[in-house]
């Protein structure tokens, strides 16, 4: 892809079995990257994503990973580095499948699980990835939420860890820039993936129509549209971009 070049080595996609993660893995491969991707429980999705990578003519690998397992996270990066020598890109596309509730009704145990799986999971990934990204002068990109900028009711459980991840990314951008490491996020609005379809069964009639009306473009986005933003931020086309959040939300946050 013109302008979207990457050095030799591998891109690691955390959560590569989901709709957005799979689309990112596929686009990275089409841009010339070998791709190592992880999954927690969706082995079929991970296998399909790996097939996409290989159909693009690139090499790949899949790893089952519990993001709360710090040693396991480190082992994935060590394995990817051992196979490809260099890790130039990390994309964090993992996210918990959470319930929607007002803050006053949140289950404290679910809060703890979500923070552990999402925010602490990102911490474990970023800490493990940094030595490799310093060596390659690479980048880390996280998928977050446009609802950080425009709050949606009953979405605190999703937004809170994503907002914290964006704060951590800005810290990484500031502190690691001297090593050539870039850190950014893609803040997603309503995207038509598996999670979107599952939410349709949990919300009142008319809710999704209201979501569409609240986007400037009056439609739901696609996984490929989300993936193209992540590809841009990870690539040489964004070589002077760090500490930024790129909203891919159809104007939801406007």
Residue 1 in domain: no
Q: Per residue in 229-249, pLDDT tens?
A: 999 999 999 999 999 999 999
Taking alpha carbons only, the member of 222, 129, 210, 223 closest to residue 169 is 129
Measured CA to CA, the distance from residue 91 to residue 11 in angstroms comes to 8
Residue 121 in domain: yes
CATH number, position 244: 3.40.50.720
CB-CB contact of 57 with 28 (8 Å): no
In this prediction, residue 197 carries a pLDDT of 57
Domain region containing 53: 10-248
Provide the domain count of the chain.
Answer: 1
Q: Per residue in 20-64, pLDDT tens?
A: 999 999 999 999 999 999 999 999 999 999 999 999 999 999 999
Spell out, as residue ranges, where the chain has pLDDT lower than 70: 1-3, 194-207
What's the token pair of residue 28?
Answer: 């990275």
**Torsions phi, psi for 38 (to 5 deg):** -115, 160
Measured CA to CA, the distance from residue 176 to residue 52 in angstroms comes to 32
The secondary structure element, H or E, covering residue 72 is helix 70-84
What pTM value is reported for the model? 0.93
Residue 2 in domain: no
Residue 4 in domain: no
């Amino acid at each position: 892809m013109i302008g979207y070049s990457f050095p030799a080595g591998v891109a690691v996609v955390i959560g590569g079995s989901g709709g957005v993660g799979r689309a990112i893995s596929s686009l990275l491969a089409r841009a010339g990257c070998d791709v190592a991707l992880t999954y927690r429980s969706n082995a079929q999705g991970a296998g399909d994503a790996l097939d996409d990578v290989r159909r693009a003519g690139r090499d790949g690998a899949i790893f089952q990973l519990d993001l709360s397992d710090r040693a396991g996270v480190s082992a994935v990066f060590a394995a990817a580095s051992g196979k490809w020598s260099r890790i130039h890109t990390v994309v964090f596309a993992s996210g918990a499948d959470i319930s929607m509730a007002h803050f006053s009704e949140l289950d404290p145990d679910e809060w703890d699980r979500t923070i552990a799986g999402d925010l602490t999971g990102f911490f474990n990934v970023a800490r493990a990835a940094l030595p490799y990204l310093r060596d390659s002068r690479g980048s880390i990109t996280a998928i977050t939420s446009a609802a950080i900028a425009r709050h949606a009711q009953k979405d605190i459980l999703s937004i809170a860890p994503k907002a914290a991840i964006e704060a951590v990314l800005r810290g990484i951008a500031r502190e690691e820039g001297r090593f050539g490491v870039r850190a950014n996020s893609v803040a997603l609005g309503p995207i038509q993936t598996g999670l979107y379809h599952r939410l349709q069964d949990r919300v009142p009639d008319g809710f999704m129509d209201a979501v569409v009306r609240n986007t400037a473009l009056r439609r739901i986005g696609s996984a490929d549209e989300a993936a193209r933003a992540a590809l841009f931020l990870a690539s040489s086309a964004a070589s002077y971009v760090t500490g930024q959040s790129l909203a891919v939300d159809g104007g939801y946050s406007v």
